[in-house]
Structure 1
């Protein structure tokens, strides 16, 4: 397998037409899994007895109506990244049961948040879900948590982005990219972006001006932003290799590169030696634990409700056609988010 121009490539033979989709197990104790890494054809809907286990005091059981799909899910399914967590980490649905210590959530309430996989029914810690904002659909809600939590955590908690600073968002038409644009605009930062040229119209619709858009597929963005900015203060990175190094060269003294990528993680000391007076930090959303997620929700909820942070554009697939959705994401064809409906 290989990553070329931001797309995942694996050798594969598949039927020309597949319409039936993945078989759905009986009952509600099942989730999306892969039998082995290396091919998206290995995705399946499999029984998961853990989903039927009695709740712990601080847990809730949710009947999921939709689940979000992220790049991490694709690279795990392909065996590129070794991550023991199940495929599918976010969703939205209706609470069907609460643990004995849960007081702020009720049965029948619609919530969105982080889950241990995508299936008909899922269990999670109460701190990892939050009520769905008024006016949002369940599909929109399912696609929002990881993108907005990641963007806010990266830019606020890790980068300490300040008003007036210059921010470069790579692959800005994806889910986290969309979310980061809205979050950074709220913070008052100068926003600069990269994306594939075929997706620049998406950035125009988000209010990004032509001088603040560059090509994510080539290294031309380095010269472009060297001549169009006084230097970059923060990079929100998802690129690899030479693109990552070029981003480091754009940072001015005190600059911070926050890396949400999974396939080219650098050592902070080596980074600083190569890019003096700058810092590098790779992260995973769950690094801070459940209490951090709950604190992020408290900051995000008012911004959801007043429209500062809107729903993200979302393309949906029936969960029985998860392999098709994963291939679409792997080929970098999408803008915004992809969701699986149940």
Structure 2
């Protein structure tokens, strides 16, 4: 089968399209891949900067959508089912094997491209807001990087919880993407967004900040928190891991909360089904509608990763593996 394999830790340029044997199904769901998501972990993996460091060569690709070829008894899946799955590795190929517990049916009417960017982003958003952020109805949520895959997913999940949602983005084009995803207001990161957030909340601040960016954004976000607010640390796409003086947390009665969905479900895998049920309900109610950005053919994955690296991407960047 075709697969895009990382042969050198040189970033996206270390990828090469090769022919490799198809994976053995074993006790997993064997999926004929139609589309695969392109994510920030994929980018870090190509540079050897991710916490997981598989030996070279390996096939990246953390999530896919496709058609079941075979499934183990008792998995709930059968040949021909349209599914989306979290794979962690191996998704950028014609065929992938995925754990049954991380494989989910595609909602009716969804494209493979939309489904390919759903599992990691929406499960992360739901875990962040509900499990780690303790979000309540009518609270206000501020989302950084709000036009990207995680950002648009977080906006939609927050709206589904009955929250008011503000977005911080880097351009007017991205502001429109965030508003289209459901943000009530969008502010430019280059402006005095802290003052605008304070004005929009009549000086109180927001209850929850979702920060996948880090760096200076983190420091400014602390100024935006309402009493008992929660700043959720999702990642460091900005490149700098921030530090905080804990006296600032004490004086303001606020929390800084780590969000590592992948690590947590390794310890508590039963949470996956709970989150999937919650997201299915939001999908039925029309809140979950994945925002698909650029779609690239498999052989142009390096270009797709470079779009992420340059922070030009909006919505979820996707690879089309084959038509279907």
TM-score w.r.t. structure 2 length? 0.86
Q: Which residue pairs with 1:32 in the alignment?
A: 4
CA separation in 1, counterparts of 2:195 and 2:158? 23
Classify the secondary structure of the residue corresponding to 1:154.
Answer: helix
What is the CA-CA distance between 1:140 and the residue it aligns to?
1.2
What is the CA-CA distance between 1:249 and the residue it aligns to?
2.1
Q: Are the aligned partners of 2:121 and 2:149 in contact in 1 as well (CA < 8 Å)?
A: yes
Q: Which residue pairs with 2:113 in the alignment?
A: 139
Q: Are the aligned partners of 1:171 and 1:216 in contact in 2 as well (CA < 8 Å)?
A: no
Within-5 A mapping of 1:170-181: 170-181=144-155
Residue 302 (1) aligns with residue 274 (2): no
Q: 1:324 aligns with which of 291, 294, 303?
A: 303
Q: Which residue pairs with 1:257 in the alignment?
A: 231
| CA shift in 2, pair 1:102/1:331, >3 Å | same
CA separation in 2, counterparts of 1:121 and 1:47? 12
What is the CA-CA distance between 1:177 and the residue it aligns to?
1.1
Classify the secondary structure of the residue corresponding to 1:151.
Answer: helix
Residue 169 (1) aligns with residue 143 (2): yes
Q: Which residue pairs with 1:285 in the alignment?
A: 261
Q: Are the aligned partners of 1:231 and 1:252 in contact in 2 as well (CA < 8 Å)?
A: yes
CA separation in 2, counterparts of 1:313 and 1:224? 29
Q: Are the aligned partners of 1:147 and 1:179 in contact in 2 as well (CA < 8 Å)?
A: yes
Classify the secondary structure of the residue corresponding to 1:122.
Answer: strand
Q: Are the aligned partners of 1:102 and 1:126 in contact in 2 as well (CA < 8 Å)?
A: no
What is the CA-CA distance between 1:303 and the residue it aligns to?
2.2
Offset from partner CA, 1:269-289 (integer Å, 9 cap, x none): x55433222222222221223
CA separation in 1, counterparts of 2:158 and 2:31? 32
Offset from partner CA, 1:236-292 (integer Å, 9 cap, x none): 00122221111112212211111111455567xx55433222222222221223322
Q: Are the aligned partners of 1:140 and 1:314 in contact in 2 as well (CA < 8 Å)?
A: no
| CA shift in 2, pair 1:280/1:48, >3 Å | farther
| CA shift in 2, pair 1:264/1:158, >3 Å | farther
What is the CA-CA distance between 1:174 and the residue it aligns to?
0.7
Q: Which residue pairs with 1:205 in the alignment?
A: 180
What is the CA-CA distance between 1:322 and the residue it aligns to?
0.7
CA separation in 2, counterparts of 1:52 and 1:38? 26
Q: Which residue pairs with 1:76 in the alignment?
A: 45
Which runs of 5 or more residues in structure 1 are unaligned?
1-27
Residue 106 (1) aligns with residue 78 (2): yes
CA separation in 2, counterparts of 1:52 and 1:334? 31
CA separation in 2, counterparts of 1:39 and 1:330? 10
What is the CA-CA distance between 1:207 and the residue it aligns to?
4.7
CA separation in 2, counterparts of 1:37 and 1:281? 31
Which runs of 5 or more residues in structure 2 are unaligned?
none
Residue 155 (1) aligns with residue 124 (2): no
- Number of aligned positions between the proteins: 305
Offset from partner CA, 1:154-196 (integer Å, 9 cap, x none): 1111101111211110011111111111111111112111001
Q: 1:55 aligns with which of 7, 26, 40?
A: 26
CA separation in 1, counterparts of 2:6 and 2:151? 27
